Structure 1
Amino acid sequence: MTPVTLDYLLLIEALCGVSAPRKRKLDDGTIVEGSSAKRSPTFRHDSVAFAPQQVQLQTPAVPHPTSTPARRPFAVDESLSLQRHRHCKLLGQTTALDATLIGLGAFNDKNETESRVGTLRQVGGSEYFSTHADADVPVPDDETRALAEIEATVGQHGPALIDIYFRNVHPSYPIIQKSAFLDRLHHGDLQFNPPLLAAMYVLALAWWERDPELAQLAKPDTARLEFIAVNSLTVAMQRPKISAVQAGLLLLQRAKASTWSLTVQLVALGQDIGLHLDCSSWSIPEWERRLRKRLAWALYMQDKWSALMHGRPSHINAADWAVPEPTVEDFDEQIPPFVNPTSITTTTNQPASEENDIETDPETTKGLTIFLQLIKLTRLLADITDLFYSSTAKSAYARAGRFATTLVLNRAKPVQLRLKAWYADLPPTCKMDNYTSGLLSPTAYLHLAYFATEITIHRRIVQSLDPAHSDPYMLYICRSAAKTRLISALDFVNRLKPEHLEAFWFFASPTNLELIGTFGALLWVTSPGVEEREFYGARLREFRWTLGDSISIDSA
């Protein structure tokens, strides 16, 4: 018998109690072993497992006169994937650890049981994670040194940069639980995840010059911060946590730093902590469930738009994606108020602070609405790339021969109708003309993504056209439709205002601008006549002038 097999059998024995000492069962079902009592496995929702104050209120404990008051726990202490000194990994259905066998173990009030592979935590009926101490994973660097380098780079400007981040980035890209972050910051806990903190600073520095006070001072070294973030992220990814995914996604919002390899790593890391699963009924804090849903869809969008940008196959498959789309309620920043378990008086009826309420600021509401609409658009984009650019689609068009255009058009019509319906149903807050003079508006990146999606369809249609075999009327209709889309996209670029240009831009925006130029060049070189060729040449020269002299877009 191999050591691996032996270890596995020993684990099963430990979980199932095969070789355990004799136990006796009380009338209430409690299993007694020695002097300790363990209950048979029972799934506990967060209303019990993560609300100790409710239990204490029923049976209040009287503190010992000499006892030291318990430290106020931070919100992340109760989480599954944001604990400061522990990390977790999802136990998938096909691993050697079968969920049914694990369920035979004895679980405590936190839905945890000890095993030879670490502490196993049940979050749902058949969903389990193995949790491990960060110290158990040796790494070549330490967080303390990385944090010191970060703070040395930003100096005394850290608080101002955090304020800029939550004012300009967070409303449009809400992948951080603001209240949980500020909860630690306000209570003096500065031991944040180094790559996450550095990435937040890096993005915030894009608005340094817009701050009247900061603009007069020397700007921190952005390249140095990004270097620290990338290197510390490599270390952080060895201990799977939500914070590592957040850090990676924020770094990828920098267009120059957006790489396919890091995107793929983040997808794998997200799967490691179960972001691809529906956590709606998991026994984790409600705020963490909301955060997981938002973060999961941010990862989904990163994967799909990166695949378009780099011409690569997506790594998130519909068959293995179970996350429901977030709703407005999932942007609630509220976390339950802390109740000291040694106190009989409860604070559960106290009103939440302003920072913990659902954001009601119009610009913040606009940001989250745009985020939700981009999710819907990205799902459309995923279908479009599968239909027109996957390897199977490419083979189908090759087999169709001179009927390839007909096949493309038949596939295009349903998604074009869906895209048209998406645009028609955009909320008023997402319209381009819905902005206040002098206030930054991130609406433009959503509309640019829409034009890029439209162009992705028409690009394939134009590529399939063969003047030697295509019906002349079909050729005319297809090229006319493509021309209309190009003109609309070019006019959109010309209408951009400073309020749009200086706001947050999704990481794919620079490439989406390039796709407009690429589409124009495709129509130019395939023009059947001199007049049409001259038209596209003139529009492309105008587009290049606009980009060179008027528009400079970075994702951050």
Structure 2
Amino acid sequence: MADTSRSSLNHHHPLPPRRYIRDNMNAVSPSTTSRPYRSKSQRPCDRCRRRKTVCLIQAEGSSCQSCLKAQQPCAFEMPPTKRQRRTLDTQKRIETRDEQHGPGVASAEGVALHDTPTGLAGLAHRDVTTTVPVQSSPSATTPQAQSHRDLQYRDAHCTPTNPEAHAARILSAMETTGLPYASERRHRTHPHAGTPSNQTTTSYPVQYVRSFEQMEAATAQLCGMSAELDPWLLRHCKFDEYGMRGLQNITCRNVGGVPVQGLVPVHFIVTDNSLIQQDEHRSSDESRRRRMLEDLVPMSHGVRLISLFMRFVQPMLPIVSRSQLDRQLSENTVPAVLLAAVYASAIPYIAHDHVLFALPAMSDSLAETLWGMVVDWIQCDAHKPKLAIMQASLLYLQRLPLRPHRVLADTAARSSFLGSTVALAMSLGLQLESQPWGIPTWEKRLRRRLWWALYMEDKWTGLLMGRPPMIQKDEWDIFDLKEADLELGHRASFDVESDPNTSQDGVIFVFFVQLAGQVEKIQEAFYTLRASQRLAEDFRASVDAARPIRESLQAWYYSLPEELRLRSRAEGQSYRDHRQGVAVLHFSYLMLELFLYRAILRPLARSPPPPPVTNEEDESDSQSDPFFAHGLSSTWLLDDLTFESLEFDQLPDAGFAEFGEAAEVALNAAERCAAILVNFVASLVPQDFDVHWYPWTRICFATITSFITLLFVQAPTSAHAARSRELLKRWSLHLRSQHKTNEGLMTLGLLRLHSLQVEELDGLFSLSPSALELLSESRTKHGHVACEGAT
């Protein structure tokens, strides 16, 4: 009994979508039990046959819906394809399998596993749920499932070339890897409501692969763990071979999987777009959008922009499927919102294309026009999420601000947009590992890359802005990104000539994702509210907390392959082979070192005493203040604070000696970290900026300014004050120099530097005695020189 109940609880891996209600399919009655006959004279057009989609012709003599949408005429010139016959070896294996275990074994297409034993073995440790069992008897097929099966069967993404041979091949792989299900779980007894003895044997039929993106007229959204449709209830549904089950005006899709313990049931709720309320004042017509885009960027120029995007942006942010983009370009079906975002992202690199560079229209104003269209279309389609909307949203987040907004680290609008992008990802189920799902392999890889791109954006933005990240670690379970997830595949029509710097397109992204994991550790350890309250005045605890993170950071650094390392020339100058993104990668790593030392420095100096707080209202109201709720008297705020004994603009003695040599070591290391960053930025060459820099890196330059200023403000000795002041001067020199050619990245850092001029710091901050003494000597010296010059 224990085994039976346990197996039934682990029984379903849920989540798939579907759209089947089409205008001219309403005539199919729910009571229909047989497939409607289709005469050979009514065969689908050539385009629908190539795409393996349903060919829907509204009226005799007109084109089908698919061709009308693509603005192409219907053609019926392709000869009928020959049926593939089962090989003798495959037939024998299937017959042997059926004799031993009976029919009904799920195929790899059905469980959406990789076709190799390695891919199957990789699931053994995961919490994978099972495909929902379906009664194998033909008489048990419901009319809705049969009707849906007829409509969907011709979909290329759903139908394996030879399902039986594929099932046998995967069965053999399962048995080789020892994955539970291949032998002991081919059939499962399901207790019905009532007595435990009332059981029937059910089998696991083939579940065909189908892409979520193929549902053009429907929207799929994840059914969460606590949703009103309980996933643990839905797992008991009887799904068809596509994992679909109709529930009146919606459809539930089970994404399939294998019965390995652990993964939760995953289902998607698929809704026809006609049922979703749309804004009548905004047009969501795809053909109209495409015409608008074509008017701005002709396709001949668009292909060149796509080539630039693939060369400069895709390696750093591989969120576009090359194979699918190539196919969609040939069929003129690329979503306009994605195409506009790709165009806008590529415009900053038109100097590398002699044709585009000579066009006056290719300017920043065109990019802003395109970005305006992108954000408008994203908001218009927010009610029907697709991967293309997610891709466009991530690209929009990479947009550098215009000149008036460069003085701000971030805006509330951008933070809200990031939040909506995270919500979109959750609706699409990107936070769940799609390895066992019944979707194409390219879509699994793309979903994984989209998730990690969003994860990286959220973690870095949260750390640099001092805000809690929106993605919580208990709410996702995606596999680590591997180089296999970034394979290029076949050469695409938009590919440029082979470039040694892009030969491993996107591999560097794997290391950026790993570094984002270190970002999460640092923020959790030091920069959450609770962590800051606990460690801000505890030097020893801060060092102890930093030690394992520092070791993890260094382990990451030593794991870098040779082509992603920095080298030095014989003459000692910094040298790089200009492999794309190496400078950004190392700059990001150094920034995390900075954040570690910044946290360690907090306990090394006490904060200035707060001034007395007065209340213009009745002082009796102060008893309701939280400070006094714990028995603190009003004199607590004024303890040892008198206008006669202490000046408010004076920082108390740091009490540096009480920390001993460890504090001196930490301070020297922090100064060295700042010096390394200053020298690193000074050594950057134009080729280092000839790649996509993530928008959060612009905040890093301002963070360096603040860090060096902190070293000077709380310098405990004259030697430390002199070193930190020299760092500020050198940083000012190099930042101004780099700003001339990289205004978008450097403006915020330079602005912060101008607002913190060294000679005026005593007017802004309560400086340490050593820093004050150094400033005083500097002013005296400059004043003496000025007097000598006047005489």
Match 2:293 to one of 143, 147, 150 = 150
In the aligned structure 2, how far is the partner of 1:530 from the partner of 1:34? 85
Equivalent of 1:450 in 589, 592, 596? 589
Structure 1: stretches of 5+ with no match in the other structure: 1-19, 42-46, 59-76, 335-351
**Closer, same or farther in 2 for the Cα pair 1:198/1:170, shift >3 Å?**
same
How far apart in 1 are the matches of 2:494 and 2:580? 24
SS at match of 1:275: coil
Q: How far is the alpha carbon of 1:437 from its aligned partner?
A: 8.4
Q: How far is 1:78 from its partner? A: 4.1
Corresponding position of 2:446: 291
Gaps of 5+ in 2: 1-29, 34-133, 150-154, 167-208, 258-264, 403-409, 569-573, 606-653, 746-791
Q: 1:420 corresponds to which residue?
A: 554
Indicate the residue corresponding to 1:186 in structure 2: 330
Task: Determine the C-alpha separation between the residues in 2 that align with 1:36 and 1:480.
Answer: 73
| 2:397 aligned with 1:255 | no
Contact 1:147 1:194 in 2 (8 A): yes
- Which among 488, 491, 510 is matched to residue 372 of structure 1? 510
The structure number with the bigger radius of gyration is: 2
Structure 1 distance, partners of 2:380, 2:680, is: 42
Partner of 1:405: 539
SS at match of 1:255: coil
Counterpart secondary structure, 1:152: helix
CA distance in 2, matches of 1:113, 1:491: 62
Once the two structures are TM-superposed, the CA of residue 410 in structure 1 deviates from its matched residue by 0.8
In the alignment, which residue of structure 1 is the partner of 2:632? none
Query: Which residue in the other structure is 1:96 paired with?
Result: 228
Q: Which amino acid aligns with 1:148?
A: R
Give the distance between the partners of 2:579 and 2:316, measured in 1 at CA: 11
Q: Name the residue aligned to 1:468.
A: 655
CA contact (8 A) 1:254 1:507 kept: yes
Counterpart code for 1:453: L
Residue aligning to 1:113: 245
Aligned to 1:197: 339
Distance in 2 between residues matched to 1:356 and 1:321, nearest whole Å: 34
For residues 410-441 of structure 1, what are the alpha-carbon distances to aligned partners after superposition, in whole Å with 9 as ceiling and x for unaligned?
A: 10111011111111121112113499989662
For the residue of structure 2 that corresponds to 1:53, the secondary structure is: coil
Instruction: Select the residue among 386, 390, 396 that pairs with 2:528.
Output: 390
Q: Identity across aligned pairs (percent)?
A: 26
Q: Aligned to 1:516, what secondary structure does the other structure show?
A: helix
Matches within 5 A, 1:258-407: 259-334=414-489, 362-397=500-535, 401=537, 404-407=538-541
- Equivalent-residue separation in structure 2 for 1:36 and 1:505 (angstroms): 51
User: Alignment length, in residue pairs?
Assistant: 486
Q: How big is each residue's C-alpha offset from its partner over 1:279-323, in whole Å with a ceiling of 9 and x where there is no partner?
A: 111111111111111111111101101101221101111111200
One-letter amino acid of the structure 2 residue matched with residue 416 of structure 1: R
CA distance change for structure 1 residues 520 and 36 in 2, over 3 Å: closer, same or farther? closer
Aligned amino acid, residue 422 of structure 1 = W
**What CA distance in whole angstroms lies between the structure 1 residues aligned with 2:389 and 2:686?**
33
* Number of the residue aligned with 1:211: 353
| CA–CA distance in structure 2, aligned partners of residues 130 and 37 of structure 1 | 16
Instruction: Give 3-state SS (helix, strand or coil) of 1:485's partner.
Output: helix
- Aligned residue runs from structure 1 range 505-516, under 5 A: 505-516=693-704
- Name the SS of the counterpart of 1:213 in structure 2: helix
How far off is 1:149 after superposition? 2.9
Name 1:163's counterpart in structure 2. 307
State how far apart, in whole Å, the 2-side matches of 1:386 and 1:217 are.
49
1:519 aligns to 2:707 (yes or no)? yes
How far apart are 1:106 and its partner, in Å?
3.3
Q: Secondary structure at the match of 1:89?
A: strand
Does the 8 Å CA contact 1:153/1:224 hold for their aligned counterparts?
Answer: no
Q: What is the CA distance between 1:369 and its match in structure 2?
A: 2.4
Shift of residue 230, structure 1, vs aligned partner: 1.3
Which structure has more relative contact order (CA 8 Å, sep 6+)? It is: 1
Cα distance change on mapping 1:392 and 1:37 into 2, 3 Å: closer
3-state SS, counterpart of residue 297 of structure 2: helix
Q: Distance in 2 between matches of 1:34 and 1:279?
A: 28
Which deviates the most, 132-141 or 520-529?
132-141
CA contact (8 A) 2:293 2:340 kept: yes
**What is the CA distance between 1:187 and its match in structure 2?**
2.4
Query: Does the CA-based 8 Å contact 2:135-2:238 persist in structure 1?
Result: no
Whether the aligned pair in 1 keeps the contact of 2:432 and 2:477 (CA below 8 Å) is: yes
Letter of the 1:54 partner, please give it: N
Instruction: Give the deviation of 1:536 after TM superposition.
Output: 2.2
Match for residue 477 of structure 1? 665
Alpha carbons 1:49, 1:110 under 8 Å: kept: no
CA distance in structure 1 between the aligned counterparts of 2:143 and 2:287, rounded to whole angstroms: 41
Change in CA separation of 1:418 and 1:237 when aligned onto 2, cut-off 3 Å: same
CA distance in 2, matches of 1:245, 1:296: 10
Work out the CA distance in 2 between the residues paired with 1:37 and 1:222.
47
1:147: Cα distance to partner? Answer: 3.2
Q: Whole-Å Cα distance in 2 between the matches of residues 312 and 321 of structure 1?
A: 20
CA distance in 2, matches of 1:292, 1:360: 27
Q: Which residue of 1 aligns with 2:171?
A: none
* Structure 1 residue 249, shift from structure 2 partner: 0.8
Distance 1:436 1:124 in 2: 51
CA–CA separation in structure 2 for the residues paired with 1:373 and 1:27: 47
Deviation at 1:90, TM superposition (A): 0.4
Q: Which of residues 255, 263, 270 is equivalent to 1:123? A: 255
Q: Against the structure 1 CA distance between its residues 333 and 117, is the aligned structure 2 distance closer, same or farther, given a 3 Å change threshold?
A: farther
Whether the 8 Å contact between 1:287 and 1:333 is mirrored in structure 2 is no
Instruction: Please say if residues 99 and 128 of structure 1, whose CA atoms lie closer than 8 Å, have aligned partners that are also in contact.
Output: yes
The answer to whether the Cα contact below 8 Å between 1:81 and 1:87 also exists between their aligned partners in 2 is no
What TM-score, normalized to structure 2? 0.57
Deviates more, 1:199-208 or 1:360-369: 360-369
> Does structure 2 conserve the Cα–Cα contact (< 8 Å) formed by 1:381 and 1:453?
yes
What CA distance in whole angstroms lies between the structure 2 residues aligned with 1:436 and 1:465? 37
Q: Which moved more, 1:439-448 or 1:503-512?
A: 439-448
User: Residue 193 and residue 385 in structure 1: after superposition, are their counterparts in 2 closer, same or farther (change >3 A)?
Assistant: same
3-state DSSP class of the match of 2:161?
Answer: helix
| CA–CA separation in structure 1 for the residues paired with 2:493 and 2:456 | 27
How many angstroms apart in 1 are the aligned matches of 2:145 and 2:504?
53
- Give the deviation of 1:57 after TM superposition: 9.7
Task: Identify the range of structure 1 (409-418 vs 420-429) with the bigger mean alpha-carbon deviation.
Answer: 420-429
Give the SS at the match of 2:461: helix
- Mapping 1:538-553, distance limit 5 Å: 538-551=726-739, 552=742
For residues 383 and 82 of structure 1, do their structure 2 counterparts lie closer, same or farther at Cα, with a shift above 3 Å needed?
Answer: farther
Most deviating of 133-142 and 201-210: 133-142
The one-letter amino acid paired with 1:409 is V
TM-superposed CA distance for 1:363, in Å, is 2.5
Query: Alpha-carbon deviations, 1:229-262, whole Å to 9, x = none?
Result: 1111111222111111111111111232872211
Q: CA deviation at 1:54?
A: 2.5
Q: Deviation of residue 333 (structure 1)? A: 4.3
What TM-score do you get using the length of structure 1 for normalisation? Answer: 0.80
Alignment CA distance shift 1:384-1:36 (3 Å): closer
Report Cα offsets for 1:162-208 as digits up to 9, x if no partner.
1111121112211110110110101233xx33332221111100111
- SS of alignment partner, residue 414 of structure 1: helix
Instruction: Compute the displacement of 1:388 (Å).
Output: 0.1
Contact 2:316 2:509 in 1 (8 A): yes
